[in-house]
Structure 1
Amino acid sequence: MATGEVQVGTCKDKTLAEEMAGFSDSAPAVPCTEPHTLETYGTGTLPDAVKALGPARPGPEILAGVAAEACSYDPIRPYLGATAPDQTWGIEVFVKFPTRAEWTAGVRTVLCDLAVGTGGPPRTVLPLRDALRYTDSARLRMCRAGDTMVTCDLPHDGERAGDVDASGADPDRTARCEDAARAYAGGPVPAAVTLRGGTAECWITGETTTTGTVRAGLVAR
């Protein structure tokens, strides 16, 4: 599929790790409800100095150096349907540039793609657009098993319920966390604050391991 024809929400299935890591992607689109590895959440903009290069496409050092600038992280949370308490884990960004032939022809569109999980290539049958609004969103949510971060579809004993104000004494932070956890889960749940740098993370905790999410207000697809 030509780079310039890819729309936001397009999914593609890459079968090899080398394809995932490649600078370009001309694979055909597949339905996002079928196994796929990449989903386009937006298109990026190259710096003017790089866009002006040609006719040959710039080398990998130049492309790698502008990848983070080309694809902003800002649209990701709105694309996923995340609200303030929703914290994600295991989502990676892949930046895809025009092929060499497209670049020579004047195409400068940059695709900003999301992938779920690590290793792989990772595959999913879940569309990522607005995914955090649905009951099957545990695979995208941040949980922990002991001190190890995992997605909430895996066994865990804590689920991130957002951040709270870090000011004040421990009892004050804990009270704010309990309020946040109650809003997140739709009812009273055990919660505790983890201070990480200047951030007060609120975690819903449990004495036993579980799978899935306790997020309230989700709907079935």
Structure 2
Amino acid sequence: MRLAVLAVVAALTLTACGDDTTAPAEMAAPDLGACRVLSPEDVAQPANSSPSVPCSESHTAETYAVGELPSDFDDVDYGDEQLGAWAYQKCTGSFRDFLGADESLVMRTVVSWAWFRPTQEAWDDGARWYRCDVVGGGEQSKEYVDLPTSARGLLLGRPKDAWMVCADGETVAGSVKVPCNQPHTWRAVTTISLGAAKDEYPGDRLAEVTTRDYCSRSVGAWLNYPVDYDFGYTWFHEAEWQAGNRRSVCWAKTTQ
């Protein structure tokens, strides 16, 4: 989700020369359930044509949602911000359902999602599909971990530490994010909702203070109210709010 939020709000400045030779495969929506070996560099691109691999083999991505874009996007530019906001809502909801998690849990998992659209050439020729992939890593990942044969239901029940996000460093902000089954000094333990879908952004100061105060209490309870404890928090700004994110993440300083 962290990678996804930032990817949605980033403005795309892309140019390409359209032609009349777009391959038929690029015009049609990809296959649902296909697995691929993707890297962070692949996910940073708006389109992806990596070949699929058998899901029984090593892979870092699985397609969990595909379809045609609404007709509202028939005439929009390739990098239209409203397109990104729509994809955020669509892929986020499907992501939760696919993993078997609620909104809080998907903010605390090491896996994330990425979405792709047709190439610029195919877009210019009228292709209007989307593809949502679950990937084995997040925004700060230098490489992705392998996913199971299928990630469906990955977070049902009590998820394994291999799929939960922790951080290793002096502070949360400056730490490398790692799966919680690796050595770490911080664990993402709770989240706080700062507003409903239609609410206006409360402003940077109020968002941060509300997050800080809640996380202080929440982490203390998670640690069973020790005399002294350290906590951290990750909160987002107006751009992420406009993209659809309403939650901040609370971190406990712990090696457990």
What TM-score, normalized by structure 1, do the two folds share?
0.59
Please tell me whether Structure 1 or Structure 2 has the larger radius of gyration of its CA atoms.
1
Taking the aligned partners of 1:19 and 1:84, their CA distance within structure 2 comes to 22
- In structure 1, runs of 5+ residues without a counterpart are 54-61, 183-187, 211-221
Question: In the alignment, which residue of structure 2 is the partner of 1:158?
Answer: 186
CA shift, 1:124, in A, is 1.1
Question: Counterparts in 2 of 1:164-183, with a 5 A limit?
Answer: 174-179=216-221, 181=222
2:97 to 78, 97, 107: 78
Question: In the alignment, which residue of structure 1 is the partner of 2:133?
Answer: 113
CA shift, 1:21, in A, is 3.1
Tell whether the 8 Å contact from 2:35 to 2:54 is kept in structure 1 after alignment.
yes
Question: In the alignment, which residue of structure 1 is the partner of 2:253?
Answer: 205
CA shift, 1:176, in A, is 4.1
Q: How many residues align?
A: 188
1:35 to 58, 68, 71: 58
- In structure 2, runs of 5+ residues without a counterpart are 1-23, 194-208, 237-246
Taking the aligned partners of 1:13 and 1:176, their CA distance within structure 2 comes to 38
Tell whether the 8 Å contact from 1:189 to 1:204 is kept in structure 2 after alignment.
no
Taking the aligned partners of 2:102 and 2:165, their CA distance within structure 1 comes to 14
Query: Are residues 1:12 and 2:51 paired?
Result: no
Taking the aligned partners of 2:250 and 2:218, their CA distance within structure 1 comes to 9
Q: Deviations over 1:17-38 (max 9, x none)?
A: 569736242623521x421132
Tell whether the 8 Å contact from 1:192 to 1:205 is kept in structure 2 after alignment.
yes
Residues 125, 89 of structure 1: CA spacing in aligned structure 2 closer, same or farther, 3 A cutoff? Answer: closer
Residues 176, 52 of structure 1: CA spacing in aligned structure 2 closer, same or farther, 3 A cutoff? Answer: closer
Q: Deviations over 1:86-107 (max 9, x none)?
A: 2124635131326856974x65
Secondary structure in structure 1 of the residue aligned to 2:185:
strand
What TM-score, normalized by structure 2, do the two folds share?
0.53
Query: Are residues 1:141 and 2:164 paired?
Result: yes
Letter in 2 for 1:23: A
Measured on the aligned residues, the alpha-carbon RMSD in Å equals: 4.3
Taking the aligned partners of 2:217 and 2:53, their CA distance within structure 1 comes to 48
User: Going by fraction, where is strand more abundant, 1 or 2?
Assistant: 1
CA shift, 1:160, in A, is 1.2
Question: In the alignment, which residue of structure 2 is the partner of 1:88?
Answer: 109
CA shift, 1:113, in A, is 1.8
Using the aligned pairs only, state the percent identity: 19
